[in-house]
Amino acid sequence: MSERPVRVRFAPSPTGPLHIGGVRTALYNYLFAKQHGGKFLLRIEDTDQKRFVPGAEEYINESLAWLGLTVDEGVKEGGEYGPYKQSERMDMYASYAHQLVSEDKAYYAFDTPDEINAMKERLMANNMAAKYDAISRMSMKNSLTLSSDEVKEKLQNGDDYVVRIKLPRNEEIRFHDIIRGWIVFNSSQLDDKVLLKGDGLPTYHLANIVDDHKMDISHVIRGEEWLPSAPLHVMLYRYLGWEDTMPQFAHLPLILRPDGKGKLSKRDGDKLGIPVFPLEWHAADGEKSSGYRESGFMPNAVVNLLAMLGWHPSDNKELFTVDELVQAFSLERVSKSGAKFDIDKAKWYNHQYLMSATSDELLALIKDDLEPMHTALGQEYLVRVLDMLKEKVSFANDILPLGEYFFRLPTKYDEGVQNKKWNSEVANHIHNYVDDLIANNWKNAAEMENHLQSYADNSGINKGTLMQPLRWAISGQAGGPPIFEMMELIGLDSIAERVKIARLKHAL
């Protein structure tokens, strides 16, 4: 068999903000496409106009763009297989449903909602599965039970109808899933799903199969929640005569709560402080949901951490650039079982990316938090503060609050150090030491460090007893970045002023 070009699609419905599970689906599709020199499509599945949420499509585009998941063919990008939005393809679906009816693979059903409910109640009362299927359909009002004249009359009268697939009563449906191996369902487990709704519009199932076929999709990589629909989809390919070009399936595991008990929902996320959306989302009712971007995550860190939620490489490597992921990724190494979300690990990833961020990237990450005092000392000064403090935090936006004393005199002083380690003797030593620095213009870190050693030796005290009080006098803090680097940056003049202020704070 000649190799089929890889064409995969991410097919979200614009019904709200994209869950990170969806983002991971998009990422795996993207990686798979790139690895095989194939195409990554974005198809907007908006057949269900009732669930349409304004802004959701833009949100999807913005999320993918933020993460660098470039779309090859889509609504914005165009392409030879368009349109890429189902609401613009509505005239393509109905004829397939009618074709299936004429071939006795689907049927018209005229039942009212009440009649369907009554049927379901009857079945439930007898402890049977409440579904419209090969057995129950024979007691319902459809083109299998009505005479052809009655059907014709109803259609001519414009009576409401839907088209349902006609599944066999008891037949094995087998298909191969790249992640899960052979999957077997029996048609008796399924129901005769609606393909075409009363308004003449297709359901998800029909539109999805028609589009995957017409867009020549080679692999369907999607969430596990679609596994129960897969046998119906296989039957649709078979009925429509498209089985030989049916895409290969890969159903991805769920992203679970940290305790492994169930899917990570928005509510769990709120409780545990884990964003479940890539970007902040403002719902029409005013409810705000937090996003990775606004929480200070870097896009490459999110890509990396999402890649590892359900997939693992053959070695223990944890940090991957996108290009490395493209090389290393394989669907065969995606696990069948759910992937537990670990917030500490997520922060660890962000920290790693923060550590290797360039100055420009760091500046971009904190640009919204900048106040005049942060820029007053110049960009180079600011960048040095960011570089010095980034190892202390998981998120870039925690850096400036942590390092406020770099930009102005300390406003808070650690009481523990003040009460236990700050006294007039220590204060005098520090004053003398700083005086020496000024007198000799010893202003770089090495000079400052050397002199603290010689000052301590000459005074017969331990250098260690001066270190924390020195830091405290300058920054107000008990801990922080390497002290002499910090001092070099703050500069002798400001150090002298700070020490003067601190000397007034004797615990005498």
Burial 101-124 (b: 16+ CB within 10 A, else e): beeebbbbbbbeeeebeebbeebe
- Cβ nearer to ligand GLU, comparing 12 with 269: 12
Question: Which position has the token pair 């951490």?
Answer: 305
Residue 263 CB, shortest distance to ligand GLU, in Å, is 14
Helix (H) or strand (E) holding 223: strand 219-223
In this chain, which of 8, 21, 27, 45 binds ligand GLU, going by CB under 6 A? 45
Residue of 266, 347, 390, 443 marked catalytic: 266
Considering only the stretches 7-15, 259-267, 394-402, 480-488, report the one whose residues sit in contact with ligand GLU under the rule CB under 6 A: 7-15
Considering only the stretches 10-18, 275-283, 350-358, 408-416, report the one whose residues sit in contact with ligand GLU under the rule CB under 6 A: 10-18
Neighbours of 401 (CB within 10 A): 9
Residue 22 CB, shortest distance to ligand GLU, in Å, is 7
How many residues contact ligand GLU, by CB under 6 A? 8
Q: Does 14 bind ligand GLU (CB under 6 A)?
A: no
Do residues 245 and 5 touch, judged by C-beta distance below 8 A? no
Is 193 an active-site residue?
Answer: no
Q: Does 11 bind ligand GLU (CB under 6 A)?
A: yes
Residue 12 CB, shortest distance to ligand GLU, in Å, is 5
Opening angle at CA 159, ends 156 and 162, nearest 5:
110
Helix (H) or strand (E) holding 115: helix 113-125
CA dist., res. 499 & res. 508, Å (int) = 17
Q: Does 119 bind ligand GLU (CB under 6 A)?
A: no
- Cβ nearer to ligand GLU, comparing 109 with 264: 264
Residue 208 CB, shortest distance to ligand GLU, in Å, is 5
- Cβ nearer to ligand GLU, comparing 46 with 268: 46
Considering only residues 190 to 209 of the shown chain, the ones binding ligand GLU according to CB under 6 A are 204, 208
Q: Does 12 bind ligand GLU (CB under 6 A)?
A: yes
CA dist., res. 151 & res. 89, Å (int) = 28
Considering only the stretches 8-16, 149-157, 384-392, 467-475, report the one whose residues sit in contact with ligand GLU under the rule CB under 6 A: 8-16
Pairing type for strands 39-42 and 7-10 reads: parallel
CA-CA-CA-CA dihedral for 194, 197, 201, 202, to nearest 10: 0
Question: Which position has the token pair 């609050």?
Answer: 401
Residue 44 CB, shortest distance to ligand GLU, in Å, is 9
CA distances from 83 to 87, 116, 274 (A): 9, 35, 36
First vs last C-alpha separation in the chain? 89
CA dist., res. 245 & res. 233, Å (int) = 13
- Largest Cα–Cα distance in the chain? 113
- Cβ nearer to ligand GLU, comparing 101 with 252: 252
Considering only residues 219 to 278 of the shown chain, the ones binding ligand GLU according to CB under 6 A are 222, 226
Q: Does 404 bind ligand GLU (CB under 6 A)?
A: no
Considering only residues 347 to 366 of the shown chain, the ones binding ligand GLU according to CB under 6 A are none
229 DSSP assignment: G
Do residues 38 and 8 touch, judged by C-beta distance below 8 A? yes
Residue 46 CB, shortest distance to ligand GLU, in Å, is 9
For residue 34, the cross-strand partners are: none
Residue 275 CB, shortest distance to ligand GLU, in Å, is 20
- Cβ nearer to ligand GLU, comparing 12 with 310: 12
Helix (H) or strand (E) holding 452: helix 445-459
Q: Does 29 bind ligand GLU (CB under 6 A)?
A: no
Using CB under 6 A, list all residues that contact ligand GLU: 11-13, 45, 204, 208, 222, 226
Q: Which residues are catalytic?
A: 266
